[in-house]
Structure 1
Amino acid sequence: MKLAHAILLLGLTLAAGPAPAEEVTFHPFDDARAKLGQFLFYDPILSGNRNISCGTCHHHDTFSADALSLGIGEGGRGVGVRRDAGAGRDAIRKRVPRNAPGLWNIGATAFTTFFHDGRVGLSDAYDNGYDSPAEEWLPDGLPNLLAVQAIFPLTAQFEMAGNPDENEISGAIHDRIDAAWPILAKRVRVIPEYGEMFVAAFDLPGPEAVEITHIAIALADFMNAEWRSLDAPWDAYLDGTPLAPAQERGRVLFFGRANCASCHSGPLFTDHGFHALAIPPVGPGRTRRFDPMPRDVGRMAETDDLADAYRFRTPSLRNVTLTEPWGHNGAYPTLAGIVRHHADPVAGLAEWTPDLARLPDADWLGATDFVIRSDTREMARVAAAIDIEPVALSEAEVADLVAFLGALEGGESRYGRLGVPDAVPSGLPVDR
């Protein structure tokens, strides 16, 4: 009887995917700090030229992403698909090399790396608990990985910092990455409303005590509190509510023959690993330091391990229906397209066409947007580095898998908790 009972339980577990007992645990957050972080998240004061905020590329209107294949960072104008590449001296000089990921559930303790290449992660390499672009110069007192991650877009030239000749932030970063953080902290703390909020939220002796660590914690607490989403039809299914017929068929495929759950596992639907899928190259690329090619070698850029070439972090599929386009570079504008690519990566790479990329016009960058596709050797390397086996799927089965992904879309949670502030203490305009 015990063996039969065990077999029955195993069958139920395989049929249902992740067991209902698997719960998501989050880092703690403080409400006052989260509110402070909401203002900072949407305040351009943290950018070098005071013209872009975290929320520009991770906006509530686009469900914590930006709806573009590759981001338009510092110098652009507008939000989401309305964002353009700017004009004149303020125009962007380079597209952000990768797709802006959704921020859903990133306060979960299960995340041990951030960014598509995992360049921020838990590690003892620098005696501070973290591996990051700041190496041993990372500020002290950061309580979790999300707080570490929060400060690096501020130092990225084409995201928020700007070019070295444009402002004191980018100029300082050009000397050393940590040189800009005290300047940013001073920018914030001298604004009376911010100073008062920091003193109250962190029990500081005065505004002069505000440091980049406090800003990072506030941003992290906001993202942790704001982007939690565990109220999807999938969660109701685990409590006994049936899925819609197409979603049920997709579920069987997802955890069965399609083998999606080999990487998209657990309650957040990610194994937190890195895999090569031959996603079609797009844009300027992001690779190892001093590499002149516009390619993107993924995880290898951080580890310098050839075995990591073209591998990218497995995204969580929670709310994946809301964060188009898909792929580490937003190569696919439809879920059906990215599902088909997973089913046959070699065919997907060969058949992909540039018109699928959602890139705001920038004539001065057009020559480099797809130049890597003319490098036959690089394209062959991308095609050779694939970690998943092809699976034959009919169009009906692709549609069922897309329907199942819809079962991972949250309810009211998808709108966030605090939303976009009406105004920010700096008085700078809030992107809408």
Structure 2
Amino acid sequence: MDALHSATLTGLAARLRRLALGGLLLAAAASAHQGHEHHGDAGAPPMAGAVRGPDVLAPGYGPLGFDSPRPGTYRLPPIRAAADGEVLLASGARSRLHEVFGADRLVFLSFMYTRCPDPDGCPLASFVLQRIHRELGRSPDLAGRVRLVSLSFDPETDSPQVMREYARLIDADSSDDWAFLTSASMQAVQPVLDAYGQGVERIYDEAGRYTGHLAHILRVYLIDPARQVRNIYNVSYLHPDILLADARTLLMEADAQAEGAAGSAVGASPSAGERLARALDPPPGLPALPAALRDGLSAERVALGQRLFLDRRLSANGSLSCASCHVPAQAFAHNVMARSIGVEGAGLRRNAPSVLNVAYRTRLFWDGRESRLDTLVWSKLLDESVLGNRAVDEVMARLRADAAIEQGFAAAFPREGLTMKTLADSLAAYLTVLVSGGSRFDRWHFGGDGGALTDEEQRGYALFTGRAGCAACHTIGPDHALFADDGFHDTGVGYAHSMGKRARRDTIPVGDEGALRVNLAALRGTEERPYNDLGRYEVTQHPADRWRYRTPSLRNVALTAPYMHDGSIATLEGVVAHYDDGGMAHELQAPQIRPLGLSEAERASLVAFLRTLTDPAFADPRAER
């Protein structure tokens, strides 16, 4: 090891002992705080009040200023796949990053370098990880299930011997729970840094000489055993209490999945094999899958498609995945926004419909512009407003940089591997098996369970198939019901928007029964920029197709608010009122849309019936299925 660097490490350990940081190796941090007075426990971190001058230590050095979140009461959806790459262990042996992570471990990954002079940089990360390391040794629920990984992005200085000495000085050299890594060269580690979004730049003095220091933004990554990044922490949020709560939340999720605890507080997602089995033997109310879609299905392809569905690298800037708009926990729809948000916050024109049972649809998208799931995939990937990609090669290059993804495609498509076609086929396979049926309606109508619906719900069904005329478009067959005719109809909603016929609402629903009054005059000038949407006409260019949109399925409709192609109606009661009032009468409106003259009780019965169409697997919209 370089003599100067060795002396730096040795001297730094002595200074840190004087600062009572428990033997933590923070050379620059020690220099920055040398001479400061620290009070309290010998093992406690320095507090902000003990620092002279304008410096204020990061929150991670002191007690958390608020109650940490209770594990299991929240979710950490996957952000993106965790990249792999070649690394050097502290022993000098070559390995792969994913091998270091371990097969069944949660991982906190920190990028660092041993000479970092910023106390709120690498020293902070090492301090926080040391606190977590101590907790691993005394908490049975964490023991053997969490691994800490510190990877240097300064391989020119941080040799395996330096990293070994670094580990020794912070009393972690003999621990299986904390790995200290470097790389053979900057060229070797750069692809890993790029994949994680960890920027690093050299700092030069006024004469253009390299100072030996690097500029970087501190980030620590929480990675699950499936190699998905679940959280990214910066200086403001890097605190042991927060990281430990997040780790316990993911471990509870893993335990619930292992125990088959569907509907638990943290939810459990069916395996690829379970989804495939359900699709091939669909629940009551659904027909058999089309033969063309059954051919080629496999658990490996479904699992790969599910992984890609959650992968934010499918968007140009790594911010969105398919699941960002089609949220599994919300019956694969999106309850938060009336209309979807695309890459870089672009407001889109249409609501994100549920993709459950999409395999049965012969026309896809609100305007029916696609008819195949594999072509649907690339239609979205190359939509610059949605996922932002400008070319096929953009997407393929990002995925090919991940060896684990390449291996997944090799297993699912042995003869082809990762190609433009197999990418579409894998996502199409996952969409194919997202089937949903077996509701209380199905038990009553197709299963002969006379007690499955209440009297009011049965009155709602009679209205649905009779005087209200809903079943004319939301069809029910003799042995199955998709509640959609795959036709295109003008319900008055698109016309009302284009012609400015709909008055702005001055009340906003709050909770189940409340409402918030809005002063529209105070909002004048802040209105959304007008946009036009002509529906099916944009595909066919036939004037008669203006404002016609594909009939959505009503399965799980109670879970997929807001409604209509533009998300303009917030509740089922509002939808029933729209049709009862006759839509927005104009020349092209579908003849089925007419005033119905329903009583308040009849409207309520219709809504009650619609709520019987919920798949019991999605009965709790907070649980991801």
| Greater Cα radius of gyration, structure 1 or 2 | 2
- Of 230, 234, 240 in structure 1, the residue corresponding to residue 437 of structure 2 is 230
Specify whether residues 309 and 408 from structure 1 end up closer, same or farther in structure 2 by C-alpha distance, changes over 3 A only: same
Letter of the 2:364 partner, please give it.
Answer: F
In structure 2, what is the equivalent of residue 44 of structure 1? 312
> Larger relative CO (CA 8 A, sep 6+): 1 or 2?
1
In structure 1, what is the equivalent of residue 347 of structure 2? 95
Distance 1:222 1:415 in 2: 22
Counterpart mapping for 1:17-416 below 5 A:
23-26=287-290, 27-28=293-294, 29-67=297-335, 68-75=337-344, 92=345, 94-108=346-360, 111-121=361-371, 145-161=372-388, 169-170=389-390, 180-204=391-415, 209-225=417-433, 227-237=434-444, 238-242=446-450, 243-266=453-476, 267-279=481-493, 294-346=531-583, 349=584, 383-387=586-590, 388-412=593-617
What's the offset of the Cα at 1:181? 1.6
What's the offset of the Cα at 1:415? 7.5
Specify whether residues 191 and 419 from structure 1 end up closer, same or farther in structure 2 by C-alpha distance, changes over 3 A only: farther
TM-score (norm 1): 0.64
- C-alpha distance after superposition, 1:190-234 (max 9, x if no partner): 3100000100101136xxx52121111111111222x21111011
What's the offset of the Cα at 1:147? 1.6
Unaligned runs of 5+ in 2: 1-283, 501-528
Higher helix share: 1
Letter of the 1:116 partner, please give it.
Answer: W
Q: Identity over the aligned pairs, expressed in percent?
A: 34
Specify whether residues 399 and 114 from structure 1 end up closer, same or farther in structure 2 by C-alpha distance, changes over 3 A only: same
**Corresponding residue SS for 1:159:** coil
Distance 1:55 1:394 in 2: 40
Letter of the 1:233 partner, please give it.
Answer: R
What's the offset of the Cα at 1:155? 1.4
Q: Is the CA contact 2:582–2:596 (under 8 Å) kept in the aligned structure 1? A: no
Distance 1:319 1:22 in 2: 13
Q: Is the CA contact 1:282–1:329 (under 8 Å) kept in the aligned structure 2? A: no
- C-alpha distance after superposition, 1:11-70 (max 9, x if no partner): xxxxxxxxx997343422321111111111111111111111100011112221111211
Q: Give the superposed CA RMSD.
A: 2.5
Aligned pair count?
Answer: 297
In structure 2, what is the equivalent of residue 83 of structure 1? none
Specify whether residues 158 and 404 from structure 1 end up closer, same or farther in structure 2 by C-alpha distance, changes over 3 A only: same
Distance 1:196 1:414 in 2: 36
Specify whether residues 293 and 21 from structure 1 end up closer, same or farther in structure 2 by C-alpha distance, changes over 3 A only: closer
Specify whether residues 415 and 221 from structure 1 end up closer, same or farther in structure 2 by C-alpha distance, changes over 3 A only: farther
Specify whether residues 254 and 55 from structure 1 end up closer, same or farther in structure 2 by C-alpha distance, changes over 3 A only: same
Unaligned runs of 5+ in 1: 1-19, 76-91, 122-144, 162-168, 171-179, 286-291, 350-381, 421-432
Distance 1:22 1:119 in 2: 24
- C-alpha distance after superposition, 1:120-163 (max 9, x if no partner): 13xxxxxxxxxxxxxxxxxxxxxxx11221222211222111xx
Letter of the 1:262 partner, please give it.
Answer: A
Distance 2:454 2:470 in 1: 19
**Corresponding residue SS for 2:553:** coil
Q: Is the CA contact 1:60–1:415 (under 8 Å) kept in the aligned structure 2? A: no
Letter of the 1:411 partner, please give it.
Answer: P
Q: Is the CA contact 2:286–2:437 (under 8 Å) kept in the aligned structure 1? A: no
Distance 1:45 1:330 in 2: 27
Distance 2:310 2:605 in 1: 37
TM-score (norm 2): 0.45
Specify whether residues 148 and 258 from structure 1 end up closer, same or farther in structure 2 by C-alpha distance, changes over 3 A only: same
Distance 2:620 2:288 in 1: 20
- C-alpha distance after superposition, 1:269-317 (max 9, x if no partner): 111100000116569x9xxxxxx98221110110000111110000011
Q: Is the CA contact 2:285–2:442 (under 8 Å) kept in the aligned structure 1? A: no
Q: Is the CA contact 1:232–1:411 (under 8 Å) kept in the aligned structure 2? A: yes
What's the offset of the Cα at 1:390? 2.3
Distance 1:308 1:405 in 2: 28
What's the offset of the Cα at 1:419? 5.4
Distance 1:310 1:51 in 2: 32
Distance 2:305 2:401 in 1: 17
Higher strand share: 2
In structure 1, what is the equivalent of residue 506 of structure 2? none
What's the offset of the Cα at 1:385? 2.4
Distance 2:594 2:489 in 1: 12
What's the offset of the Cα at 1:412? 1.5
Distance 1:50 1:196 in 2: 21
In structure 2, what is the equivalent of residue 165 of structure 1? none
